[in-house]
Amino acid sequence: MDYVYGPGKNHLFVPGPVNIPEQVLRAMNRNNEDYRSPAVPALTKTLLEDVKKIFKTTSGTPFLFPTTGTGAWESALTNTLSPGDRIVSFLIGQFSLLWIDQQQRLNFKVDVIESDWGEGAKLDVLASKLAADTEHTIKAVCIVHNETATGVTNDLSLVRRILDEYRHPALFLVDGVSSICALDFRMDDWGVDVALTGSQKALSLPTGMGIVCASPRALEASKTAKSLRVFFDWKDYLKFYNLGTYWPYTPSIQLLYGLRAALDLIFEEGLENVIARHRRLGQATRLAVEAWGLKNCTQKEEWFSDTVTAVLVPPYIDSSEIVRRAWKRYNLSLGLGLNKVAGKVFRIGHLGNLNELQLLGCLAGVEMILKDVGYPVKLGSGVAAASAYLQNNIPLIPSRI
């Protein structure tokens, strides 16, 4: 008999949007409110203060835009740069490709530094470009911290070191959409000028809020940046910040309450514990991939991402078929391979509101699917490798010790 309803939950393992915690769902289940009442600005004030903690900044100024990561990119670029400005940007996968496309369409002159997909940013090429740029024509360096398409994490402290080594004043703009709140991210320590993220990734909220954080240097640059901007103009926000009313236009009330609940959960768990949990999930997944005899798409250990693992399949298997079957047979959602790696990789997202035993369910599902599509996997092999690691590494729940 055909059925559409099955008990239990869908197993959501795409690298965004991610699972929303029950507490956040409940916090958002509310009526609209007058955002000019005193309550909403009071809530906003706590959000702006607390959001700085997830960027690890004390000097940054955050903006909560009703948008997605793509809008946050646009806000970062148009507030700090002028048309024709030369910028350096790293192409390492689909998200950096899309950001570069936006940079070009906004009329910046983009020096693209390309890597093979699965490799990290070529920071040695950045060094040589900065060394040659004695006139300081490069106005910004743009990088995706953790490339969600390939599961590669770039070392941002090294980018800062290179900028400092050449005493180069270029602004440092970072897409932290799939890293902030999941990987170690330190806006102030790494001298990041604009960092941004979106609500539906590690923050585990619905899509619809882009969070942009500007350093004092970036705010200064915004005073002379000539790029056309209206909706994303920081100036309008700053005006309302000064008035204490915070919003130049209508915010999503439900998302604000959701963000409050999400931040409370993160602080309750402890940001460092959140990061450690992602490290465990990432490592367990990579060990499973190895046990299956498959390859991590990410080429080197130093680039391994703890939020998403892209798995290379043998050429006789279409990775899209794995994703289709996962959905059709097991109610499991995996990520497709994007663009250059379409059909070649599938992705396991392990970020956000997720725990170790949930991950083991996903890994067991992947094993069955691999078998379904004709890959000679030993059932249980990945789960065994992952659980052997997890069994040694999951700490006691602190409140239950």
Ligand X SMILES: *[C@@H]1O[C@H](CO)[C@@H](O)[C@H](O)[C@H]1NC(C)=O
Contact status: 69 vs ligand PLP (CB under 6 A): yes
In this complex, which beta carbon is closest to ligand PLP, that of residue 148 or of residue 319?
Answer: 148
Tokens of 371: 């078998």
- The Cα–Cα gap between 87 and 80 comes to 11
Contact status: 70 vs ligand PLP (CB under 6 A): yes
What does 339-376 look like in DSSP terms, one character per residue? GGGTTTEEEEE--SS--HHHHHHHHHHHHHHHHHTT--
Buried b (16+ CB within 10 A) or exposed e, 296-317: bbbbeeebbbbbbbbbbbeeeb
Q: Which amino acid appears at position 340 of this protein?
A: K
Pick what 10 binds: ligand PLP, ligand X, none; C-beta below 5 to 8 Å, kind-dependent. ligand X
Residue 71 DSSP SS3 = helix
Q: Please, which of residues 178-217 interact with ligand PLP by CB under 6 A? A: 178, 198, 201
Name which position in 138, 177, 214, 263 contacts ligand PLP (CB under 6 A): 177
Distances from the Cα of 207 to the Cα of 74, 204, 255, angstroms = 17, 9, 9
DSSP 191: T
In this complex, which beta carbon is closest to ligand X, that of residue 193 or of residue 306?
Answer: 306
Q: Flag whether 347 is marked binding.
A: yes
Q: How far is the CB of 116 from ligand X (least distance, A)?
A: 14
Contact status: 95 vs ligand PLP (CB under 6 A): yes
Tokens of 148: 């969600």
Contact 142, 176 (CB under 8 A): no
Q: Which positions touch ligand X (CB under 6 A)?
A: 5-6, 9-10, 153, 155-157, 183-184, 286-287, 289-290, 295-296, 302, 304-306, 331
Pick what 225 binds: ligand PLP, ligand X, none; C-beta below 5 to 8 Å, kind-dependent. none
Phi, psi of 261 (to 5 degrees): -65, -40
Q: How far is the CB of 340 from ligand PLP (least distance, A)?
A: 16
- CB burial of residue 167 (10 Å; 0-12, 13-18, 19+): exposed
Pick what 70 binds: ligand X, ligand PLP, none; C-beta below 5 to 8 Å, kind-dependent. ligand PLP
Q: How far is the CB of 9 from ligand X (least distance, A)?
A: 4
Cis previous bond, 15, omega within 30: no
Pick what 148 binds: ligand X, ligand PLP, none; C-beta below 5 to 8 Å, kind-dependent. ligand PLP
Pick what 286 binds: ligand X, ligand PLP, none; C-beta below 5 to 8 Å, kind-dependent. ligand X
Q: How far is the CB of 142 from ligand PLP (least distance, A)?
A: 11
Pick what 16 binds: ligand X, ligand PLP, none; C-beta below 5 to 8 Å, kind-dependent. ligand PLP
Q: How far is the CB of 222 from ligand X (least distance, A)?
A: 26
Q: How far is the CB of 185 from ligand PLP (least distance, A)?
A: 12
Q: Please, which of residues 3-62 interact with ligand PLP by CB under 6 A? A: 16
Residue 223 DSSP SS3 = coil
From its phi and psi, is residue 252 left (phi > 0), alpha (psi between -120 and 50) or beta?
beta
Task: List the binding residues for substrate.
Answer: 347
Binding site for ligand PLP (CB under 6 A): 16, 68-70, 95, 144, 148, 175, 177-178, 198, 201
